[in-house]
Chains A and B, each alone.
Chain A
């Protein structure tokens, strides 16, 4: 039992380490899964076979859960990956809440010390917020209509947060009266569930990667707390690894947007109004035919994909374009901003799905100082991440955010559906530049038109 746990722990850590290395990531995932399985079998053996019927029930439940998980994970399209990750995360959070309440109400697990009591409170608190938060995130990502965040919701969020803090502190200082504990735990769980909704409702759009990472971290912390309660080191370690991953990704995403976590959670940009009056922008539009000839006469082309590409499902057309251009010796790179899309690394997954070679996908920092080498940059469904105002207009609300310097390239073509602004609402000064042209229309249709034109050339 102890050895099995030791092996599982080492496997988990090593597996997670492998997952940070592109060549061994797949192995890492399998290693982590195998480790969990080993620990799971050891746990069942150690807990005992005294109730044989329970073991049968357990195996049946595990089989059903695995089956459902397998079906879901195989049916969902890659563009819907953020939704799926959110759903799975919500289930983990819900599991924590059910466990915590059942421990007190059903099992009568002795919560005899303040330490255990606090641990259980925190497990349910984080689990509850992660559950409803992830559900709201799922609905948002899925494009469902949600009630517009009203100012009252912000007040409610503050009130519930205050209630949670007061209840937790009250528990710590109140004299030992165990009879009160279950009610307190139930109340905290309910408020935590509400808080999850209030917290996530105002967050949307380009802030989703931050939110998803944060919710992931919360589930990890809930798991860790549950591990302290159940005295299972594997749970503690697993939970903390998840928590650390989530926190690191959250912070990375915040840095990539030059925003504070508090600012993201408040659901708005730090600078309130846009400093520039919304003057007429001098926009030069371009047709797909002209774009095609421009691409054909380039040597180095780069594509900057954004969430718009995912919406238009245009990743396969991107691959087709790359193949097409390769025939005429034009090199096509993809440059990915860290927060492009709706979850960390979203664009990379989509491009990988479309078979685009890993070597042609560049991170922003790799190429940003040599952008002038690109003859043409094609911006597909991205806006704020290529807005030069972030670098040269201290009045812009996105000033200071790291951007891909598409404007430094010889020519920029922005594929847009309309002149709508990006998530930040900032005026994109890229369109004012002489080297920038806009190709209006659906990204997928435009790309198809370009490819057809290239075939004729």
Chain B
């Protein structure tokens, strides 16, 4: 079974256009209280650029030293961005949640 698949850049542009519209729809009207978590969360998602590094790393023979080093660097940078972003978002959101459980909302 062939597990791989590819898309053409033209397909990519279709994906791009549609997800752009989708993106604006999904995140408009976000309450201000969530602006920071949203930003750090989306920052983490942009770490998905690591996929490019993984592709390069796995396709480089071990004797191509510099290429391998560059791909490794990209993977490392991406991994820190990705993991760190999700961890810190989790940490922030945990503060919001804990507080909601322990305190009854006061009336305005």
Contacts and interface: CB of A to CB of B under 8 A. Distances in A.
Interface of A: 1-2, 12-13, 16-17, 19-20, 22, 25-26, 28-30, 32-33, 36, 39-40, 43-48, 51, 53-55, 57-58, 61-62, 64-66, 68-70, 72-74, 76, 78, 81, 84-85, 88-89, 91-92, 94-96, 98-99, 101-103, 105-107, 113, 115-116, 119, 212-213, 216, 219-220, 222-224, 226-246, 248-249, 326, 331, 333, 336, 338, 343-346, 348-349, 352-353, 355-363
A65 B4 contact: no
A88 B40 contact: yes
25 contacts: A20-B38, A40-B54, A47-B4, A58-B54, A68-B84, A74-B91, A76-B88, A88-B80, A89-B81, A91-B47, A92-B81, A95-B78, A98-B73, A98-B74, A106-B60, A219-B46, A223-B49, A224-B16, A231-B12, A233-B7, A244-B23, A245-B38, A336-B32, A343-B35, A343-B39
B4 to A, nearest CB: 5
Nearest to A26: B93
B84 to A, nearest CB: 3
Nearest to A64: B76
A215 to B, nearest CB: 9
A36 B82 contact: yes
A1 B51 CA distance: 14
A348 B52 contact: no
Contacts of B79: 61-62, 64-66, 69
A226 B49 contact: yes
A249 B90 contact: no
A300 to B, nearest CB: 10
A239 B78 CA distance: 13
Contact of B85 (A88, A98, A220, A331): A88
A57 B57 contact: yes
B72 A236 contact: no
Interface in B38-58: 38-58
Contacts of B98: 355
B42 A16 contact: yes
Nearest to A130: B46
A95 B99 CA distance: 36
Given A54-B60, A235-B48, 14 more contacts: A19-B34, A46-B3, A48-B58, A51-B60, A68-B84, A88-B88, A95-B53, A107-B56, A231-B12, A244-B26, A344-B35, A344-B36, A357-B105, A359-B103
Contact of A358 (B44, B78, B99, B107): B99
Contacts of A81: 36, 40, 88, 92
Contacts, number: 389
B83 A106 contact: no
The majority secondary structure among interface residues of chain A is: helix
Most chain B CB within 10 A, of A33, A36, A45, A98, is at A98
B39 A357 contact: no
B72 to A, nearest CB: 6
A212 B39 contact: yes
Nearest to B79: A65
Most chain A CB within 10 A, of B20, B35, B59, B105, is at B35
Given A46-B4, A228-B12, A245-B42, A95 B77 contact: yes
Given A69-B84, A216-B43, A235-B49, A99 B74 contact: yes
A349 B92 contact: yes
Contact of B39 (A36, A39, A344): A344
Contacts of A222: 46, 49
Given A216-B42, A244-B23, A360-B106, A69 B85 contact: yes
Contacts of B23: 16, 240-241, 243-245
Contacts of A344: 32, 35-36, 38-39
A346 B91 CA distance: 14
